Structure 1
Amino acid sequence: MPAVTVENPLTLPRVSAPGGQSRPVLGVSTAPSGFEGEGFPVRRAFAGIDYQHLDPFIMMDQMGEVEYAPGEPKGTPWHPHRGFETVTYLIDGTFVHQDSHGGGGVINGGDTQWMTAGSGLLHIEAPPESLVTSGGLFHGLQLWVNLPRKDKMMPPRYQDIGGGQVKLLTSADGGALLRLIAGDIDGHRGPGATHTPITMIHASVSPGAELTLPWRPDFNALAYGLAGRGTAGTEGRPFRMGQSVVFGPAGARSKDGADVLTIRADTSQESRSPNFEVVLLGGTPIREPMMQYGPFVMNTRTELAEAFEDFQAGRLGEIPTAG
């Protein structure tokens, strides 16, 4: 799981060990497996978690980890979106994006594609021909982030965040490498520009190391295991690859108003992944009605019906002509 890394994390800026109140663990859930698009395997990271704990996030799929044989790599056909943002974070492999609003490009391991669907567009995600021919390792995440009512019909936007733009940090003792994709941690800012305030971090925690991070008290807090195993919270709640952790609010406010998230890696990890790989997410809850119908996320059933009608009428864009 290379993503973006450094040989010596001790050379990176450090996130101060906070002294606030620790967020307790409300629950741990296991992601069910399924297939998406033309048949690539996914784990539904947030399946079964009440939306009150996810808001402003809607869903997250772990795509792969899968080793494709030649001819096996698959993607998605052209499909619509309206009313939210998709964040595609690629860890291994390569993917090509194209949309009806002119956005597009190739994302490789460590890159992030941030697409604001807004008022609506059509897009496609597919492996390049070279990967289809050769086969190879493919692994990534796709996160859906809701938009507030006032932004749901904004013009679509596309951000291509190269792996070299991600803010690399380390924990106070150097035991964890942090890739800050979006948001702020201890005065450090990630490159992702978001309409709904969020924080997104991919952490590699060394065996036996503990990661403690300051967390905004107005954010919710979630963790997802990408590889390996460890514990969450000061109570040491076990979780592993394919499991999500929901953190609750701190029981009391510290003097500086900060909360704390705690993750610890087990001293023994699996051979294919020497570290405990975890995605940490938090955001300001929108606290508006959320209605989803497939690729449309709106506030009311009437708005969902309008989105579907607009798609059928071709008002969400046209598939670009090849060549």
Structure 2
Amino acid sequence: MSQERKVVLNYEAPEGREGEGFVVHRPFPGPRLSLVDPLLLFDEMGPSDHGPGEAIGTAPHPHRGFETLTYVIAGGIAHRDSFDNQGVVHAGGAQQMTTGAGIVHEEKPSDALLRDGGRMHAIQMWINLPRDQKMMAPGYRDIPAEQIPEIVLGEGALARLVSGEMAGQTSPVQTVVPTRIVDLHLEASASGAVPIPEGWNAMAFVVAGSGRVGNNQTALERGHFALFGNDGETVPASAGEDGMRVLIVSGQPLSEPVSRYGPFVMNEPEEIEQAIRDFQAGKMGAIKPREMA
């Protein structure tokens, strides 16, 4: 019987504003926790409801030194960047961007969400790049919902494999630093367990409903975050009477120094200074103006 991991830290994610003013819930980085190596940032965008023309996003901005993975729960997100990549992802799909040596991008609500209104809800994670790959070529891809593998873990327990490998299934999302990101859907009173590779860090975030996680049966509600200790091979979760949807995120730690400033994450402060100079000099490119209809 596999050993289950224990919750060592849990709290409600603080609320803030990002981009053009949309609501985010960010368990880290913050005063209680700087990162969950190799994850540098975890943002829940929304959930928020919008009328026609009300949804907002982010204006063009630069990045260097990591990957972003955006998982859409409701609504839709449109992406454009300085390498002429563009794409739209709807509920259940994901966007993977390798910022590498530097990229400028914007994230906007999909045309359908802007036109019709509706709910916007997504998760964005920043996943660090190792020192020797910080300056790799930037890239972007979108993965529609139907390409995300689904794994039945038991009665009333369904796992969507957003990234990595599990139970003989392989997600189309493969991050440079290995991760396993599981969107676990539990019906009322159902339970399931997600395996965690040895030595990997692991966390959980409740997207909807409520329940308990870890071998110490820590109670979590919507918007709550939990960090697990490193002893154990699985993260167990059980839902309450209203069911639970919880992201179980794990990754192989880099154990490298982290220096960051706004949208740039490198290893040393002088590398941050160089990133700022490179952006100001236009070396990360620019997004082409939108064509008028």
Q: Report deviation, 1:187.
A: 2.4
Shift in Å, 1:64? 0.8
Equivalent residues, number: 290
Letter in 2 for 1:102: D
Say if 1:41 and 1:305 are closer, same or farther in 2 by CA, change over 3 A: same
Which residue does the alignment assign to 2:288? 320
| Residues 1:261 and 2:242 are matched in the alignment | no
1:247 maps onto 2:228 in alignment: yes
Asked if 1 retains the 8 angstrom alpha-carbon contact of 2:196 and 2:235, the reply is: yes
Is 2:15 aligned against 1:33? yes
Q: 2:217 maps to what in 1?
A: 236
Cα offsets for 1:242-281 (capped at 9, x unmatched):
1111110226xxxxxxx12111111x21xxxxx3010010
Q: 1:205 maps to what in 2?
A: 186
Q: What amino acid is the match of 1:222?
A: M
Give the conservation status (yes or no) of the 8 Å contact 2:258–2:265.
yes
Structure 1 residues not aligned, in runs of 5+: 1-18, 252-258, 270-274
Look up the SS of the partner of 2:136 in the other structure: coil
Q: Shift in Å at residue 210 of structure 1?
A: 1.5
CA distance in 2, matches of 1:321, 1:93: 24
Cα distance in structure 2, aligned partners of 1:37 and 1:80:
13
Within the candidate set 30, 45, 50, 2:33 is matched to 50
Aligned partner of 1:113 among 95, 102, 127: 95
Stretches of 4+ aligned residues off by more than 2 angstroms: 45-52, 128-134
Instruction: Give yes or no for contact 1:75–1:125 (8 Å, CA) kept in 2.
Output: yes
Query: Equivalents in 2 of 1:313, 1:284: separation in Å?
Result: 34
Query: Which whole-Å CA distance do the structure 2 matches of 1:125 and 1:322 have between them?
Result: 13
Moved more, 299-308 or 234-243: 234-243
Of the structure 1 ranges 127-136 and 82-91, higher mean CA displacement relative to structure 2 is found in: 127-136
Q: Does residue 1:281 correspond to 2:255, yes or no?
A: no
- Cα distance in 2 for partners of 1:300, 1:320 equals 32
1:306 alignment counterpart: 274
Aligned-pair identity in percent equals 39
Partner of 1:9: none
Matches within 5 A, 1:59-98: 59-98=41-80
1:130-169 matches, within 5 Å, as 130-169=112-151
Using the alignment, how far apart are the partners of 2:246 and 2:227 within structure 1? 13
Equivalent of 2:167 in 183, 186, 194 = 186
User: How far does residue 111 in structure 1 lie from its aligned partner after superposition?
Assistant: 1.0
Give the C-alpha shift of residue 49 in structure 1: 4.3
**Cα distance in structure 1, aligned partners of 2:247 and 2:55:** 25
8 Å contact from structure 1 (residues 185, 215) kept in 2: no
Unpaired segments ≥5 residues, structure 2: none
SS at match of 1:42: strand
Answer whether contact 2:20 2:56 (CA < 8 A) is retained: yes
Q: CA deviation at 1:50?
A: 3.2
* Contact 2:27–2:33 (8 Å) recurs in 1: no
TM-score by length of 2: 0.95
Per the TM alignment, residue 134 of structure 1 is displaced from its structure 2 partner at its CA by: 2.4
- Equivalent of 2:206 in 225, 230, 246: 225
Bigger shift: 73-82 or 19-28? 19-28
Normalised to the residue count of structure 1, the TM-score between the two structures is: 0.87
Structure 2 residue identity aligned to 1:59 = L
Contact 1:83–1:117, Cα closer than 8 Å, also in 2 = yes
| SS state at 1:217 partner | coil
- Contact 1:20–1:214 (CA<8 Å) still a contact in 2? no
- Residue deviations 1:87-121 (CA, integer Å, cap 9, x gap): 11111111110000122111111110000000001
The amino acid that maps onto 1:230 is G
